[in-house]
Amino acid sequence: MATTPVADSMPDALKQSRYHMKRCFARFIATGSRLMKLKNLMEEIENTIEDKAERTKVLEGSLGQTLSSTQEAAVVPPYVAFAVRHNPGCWDYVKVNADNLSVEAISPKEYLKFKEMIFDEEWAKDDNALEVDFGAFDYSNPRLALSSSVGNGLNFVSKVMSSKLGGKPEEAQPLLDYLLALNHQGENLMINENLNSVSKLQAALIVAEVFVSSFSKDTPYKNFEHKLKEWGFEKGWGDCAGRVRETMRLASEILQAPDPINMESFFSRLPTTFNIVIFSIHGYFGQADVLGLPDTGGQVVYILDQVRALEEEMLRRIKQQGLNMKPKILVVTRLIPDARGTTCNQEMEPILNSSHSHILRIPFRTEKGVLRQWVSRFDIYPYLENYAKDATVKILELMEGKPDLIIGNYTDGNLVASLLANKLGVTQGTIAHALEKTKYEDSDVKLKEFDPKYHFSCQFTADLLAMNAADFIITSTYQEIAGSETRPGQYESHTAFTMPGLYRVVSGINVFDPKFNIASPGAEQSAYFPFTERKKRFVKFGPAIEELLYSKEENNEHIGFLADRRRPIIFSMARFDTVKNLTGLTEWFGKNKKLQNLVNLVIVGGFFDPSKSKDREEAAEIKKMHELIEKYNLKGQMRWIAAQTDKYRNSELYRTIADTKGAFVQPALYEAFGLTVIEAMNCGLPTFATNQGGPAEIIVDGVSGFHIDPYNGDESSNKIADFFEKCQVDSIYWNRISEGGLKRIEECYTWKIYANKVLNMGSIYGFWRQFNVGQKQAKQRYFEMFYNPLFRKLANNVPIPYEEPLPVAPSD
Ligand code: UDP
Ligand code: LCN
């Protein structure tokens, strides 16, 4: 193993504090094999070097740096193997012999074997244990080099394409081929076979640009279409002379000397995307009365808003291209016969506030017929293959051909998107929302413990397959890809990991891959607007919200009451999952008298009878909430309201809380993105949100809201209390934070910015995939090799719940 920065610096660093380090390492290994996290290492160091000054001295300099960048250490006496992350995405592995403090660089594989030794020694020692190496197919792929550029793939790909297209006519041939292939249902777009060489295209562009310039800018395309067609140009360049001229100039400049800015602008103008399929399979996917049902949360909100934003942007682009076809977007989800009063048993449903987008629902088919009931996202794997087959037939029929872009959401949607995109040869994007792996500590290496309940063997395999199959990956934040200084990203955690007994991933995904792009969602601004916009406010909800918050009686919509309504309200709303930590917030509030004297607490989520929940975690959380209200005697200061499903009313609820000069609190143990955070900020409600995950990036602490540590309840509740105390003495402080939040949203978190970026990705990566055809095919073979024998087997092990057989087609 070649040497690495840590392997180089660590021996000297250990030597300098040899006495203390020998004692520390002896202590690390004293309890035998185990996995230590940074916190455990530091505790042991503290216990060994009791003198603080001595300890500080030891932890200064490069040893301290290495230790504090250590994510975990696998102790297998006499060795301690360290996984050191010195920068986002950059890892070093070393093993230290505790007896003599010798240091040796090790490969990711060797490190993983150390971990396996702790959990499954037999597997670790098996030379023929299955190993996964997706990196082996990426030999020729260009990579980003800087951690700070991660997530900016589009920009990087435009640069690489610029250099590949080079400026010499023969180097621009792939672009010419791409333009020649552009069509809509067989009708050529942009150019036709008359312009079948780069030099012909270049010459024609010069003539055509001069010709088009002779018309006034707003002359409609049809006035000069005929002449352009004679020269080999087809529709798509623009709707008027001004636009056509600009697009032609961009094309000429790219052919002459490509540069990334022109490249991106040119591709954003190309007529490439008319039909999009979006897979979002699990949950109850509907437009009303679904939020609050298990597994059904932000993903549904995200997709419906995403569709509307994409449709709007597609319509704008199509018009500017001078075309008149209608875009089509299909959101493909699961048809659930037992729809619990929702529309989830309907096959097709137009998407509200859109003109050309529909929900298409396809049932889960089993040997016994159609599965009637909801199944948890953790149990969804046995149905996906049939689902993909059925979906393909229906999509091809409804779209009258192949879609131009397939986007998957979450593990199930991404796997099906990969199967379909592979089969149809269509550009594929994926969105994870939340990769489950990072939500559950050590869920990979403790697979045997987790698998019966969560089926992570299926989930992590599907995630790995989909992220490798995708042409581009859309993420909401940087942290989702490469984490923060201290915490690895969700994708980054798939770089090297092991599931003893199943397989060892020595190279799963590379966060420096230019397929990663950050495109953050927004909140629909027709609903979520500032509380100060009085004229727009949905006053009709006033009485209902008044009742919801302040009526004294308890019923099946709310329990608890607020005795002193003059106090500001701290508000939280989420699904009732453990990870959302609504019970945590209630406990912080219960324990913090100072906070209780300043504010009331309102929680929206779940419902009150745990026996009615089909979801394992939800039922436990509901029970816990009742216990906490009892234990801290919170009635009088707290209102718990059952899950609310009306987006417009909810937006008014956020604003009503803002009227009380309150705050929104998002206390999740981990939050991938956090739509409620941006909903609250859009309404001008100061927001305290978890520092674990996306919200840490959305909010600039102290400027556009505040970060709170969900693992340190006392500190967090004091931070909230301090804010309200400060507001009492500084009359403009509350407004400053409210305005800071609004400013942040306008700059970074709107659906318009999102739709523009995603359509650009579809266009540029559609071209990019043609540069890497051979490699893509090889990867696809590897995908199949995995999918067929391994994934299928794992999926078939997931139990199918007892079902009432139905005839093949659902009747309701
Ligand atoms: N939501 C809701 N009613 C509830 C709880 C949540 O309408 O009782 C909505 C909330 O407004 C947001 C989404 O569900 O739009 C939750 O998204 P988020 O990203 O915060 O969390 P997720 O549920 O996706 O993990
Ligand atoms: C799923 C989650 O867990 C949230 O963090 C996101 O905000 C939501 O999806 C939408 O992307």
Contacts of 735 (CB under 8 A, 6+ apart): none
Q: For residue 739, give the nearest of 795, 793, 700 by alpha carbon.
A: 700
For residue 694, the CA-to-ligand 2 centroid distance in Å is 9
Q: Give one DSSP letter per residue of 476-526, joined into a string.
A: SSHHHHH--SSS--TTGGGSSEEETTTEEEEES--TT-TTEEE------TT
For the whole model, what pTM was predicted?
0.95
For residue 301, the CA-to-ligand 1 centroid distance in Å is 8
The pLDDT value given to residue 2: 65
CA atoms within 13 A on the CB side of 250: 19
Q: What's the CA gap between 397 and 582, in Å, rounded?
A: 45
For residue 567, the CA-to-ligand 1 centroid distance in Å is 25
Contact 605, 582 (CB under 8 A): yes
Contact 281, 335 (CB under 8 A): no
Residue nearest to atom 24 of ligand 1 (CA): 298
The pLDDT value given to residue 140: 73
**Atom number of ligand 2 nearest to Cα 672:** 5
Q: How many Cβ atoms are within 10 Å of 728's Cβ, its own excluded?
A: 12
For residue 433, the CA-to-ligand 2 centroid distance in Å is 5
- In b/e form, how buried is each residue of 546-580, taking b as 16+ CB within 10 angstroms? eebbeeeeeeeebbbbbeeeebbbbbbbbbbbbbb
Contact 634, 601 (CB under 8 A): yes
The pLDDT value given to residue 439: 85
Q: How many Cβ atoms are within 10 Å of 303's Cβ, its own excluded?
A: 25
- 306-309 contact pairs (CB < 8 A, 24+): 306/278, 306/521, 306/751, 306/754, 306/755, 306/758, 307/278, 307/331, 307/351, 307/354, 307/357, 308/351, 308/353, 308/354, 308/357, 308/524, 308/751, 309/522, 309/751, 309/752, 309/754, 309/755
For residue 23, the CA-to-ligand 2 centroid distance in Å is 45
Pocket test residue of 675, 677, 678, 683 for ligand 1, highest count of atoms within 8 A of CB: 675
Q: Which residues pair with 275 in a beta bridge?
A: 328
The pLDDT value given to residue 808: 44
Q: What's the CA gap between 604 and 586, in Å, rounded?
A: 12
Contact 748, 520 (CB under 8 A): yes
- For 98, the token pair is 């505790």
Q: Where are the alpha helices (DSSP H) in 295-444?
A: 298-320, 384-399, 410-424
Q: Is 232 in the pocket of ligand 1 (CB under 6 A)?
A: no
Q: Is 294 in the pocket of ligand 1 (CB under 6 A)?
A: no
Ligand with the closest atom to the CA of 301: 1
For residue 86, the CA-to-ligand 2 centroid distance in Å is 28
**Atom number of ligand 2 nearest to Cα 431:** 11
Model pLDDT for residues 189-206, shown as the tens digit of each residue: 999 999 999 999 999 999
For residue 515, the CA-to-ligand 2 centroid distance in Å is 21
Q: Angle at Cα 39 formed by Cα 510 and Cα 125, nearest 5°?
A: 55
Residue nearest to atom 7 of ligand 1 (CA): 645
Q: Is 579 in the pocket of ligand 1 (CB under 6 A)?
A: no
The set of protein residues with a Cβ atom below 6 angstroms from ligand 2 is 298-299, 302, 433-434, 476, 671-675
Pocket test residue of 305, 475, 524, 575 for ligand 1, highest count of atoms within 8 A of CB: 575
Cα torsion 295, 296, 297, 303: sign:
positive
For residue 118, the CA-to-ligand 2 centroid distance in Å is 34
Low-confidence ranges of the chain (pLDDT < 70): 1-2, 167, 802-812
For residue 679, the CA-to-ligand 1 centroid distance in Å is 10
**Atom number of ligand 1 nearest to Cα 605:** 8
The pLDDT value given to residue 496: 98
CA atoms within 13 A on the CB side of 657: 32
Q: Is 292 in the pocket of ligand 1 (CB under 6 A)?
A: yes
Q: CA dist 342 to 289, 291, 349, 359, 625, Å?
A: 6, 10, 12, 13, 27
Q: What's the CA gap between 372 and 805, in Å, rounded?
A: 8
Contact 619, 610 (CB under 8 A): yes
Pocket test residue of 280, 285, 301 for ligand 1, highest count of atoms within 8 A of CB: 301
Model pLDDT for residues 589-606, shown as the tens digit of each residue: 999 999 999 999 999 999
Q: Is 705 in the pocket of ligand 1 (CB under 6 A)?
A: no
**Atom number of ligand 2 nearest to Cα 476:** 11
The pLDDT value given to residue 1: 64
Contact 494, 516 (CB under 8 A): no
For the chain, give me the number of helices (H) and strands (E)? 31, 27
Contact 583, 621 (CB under 8 A): yes
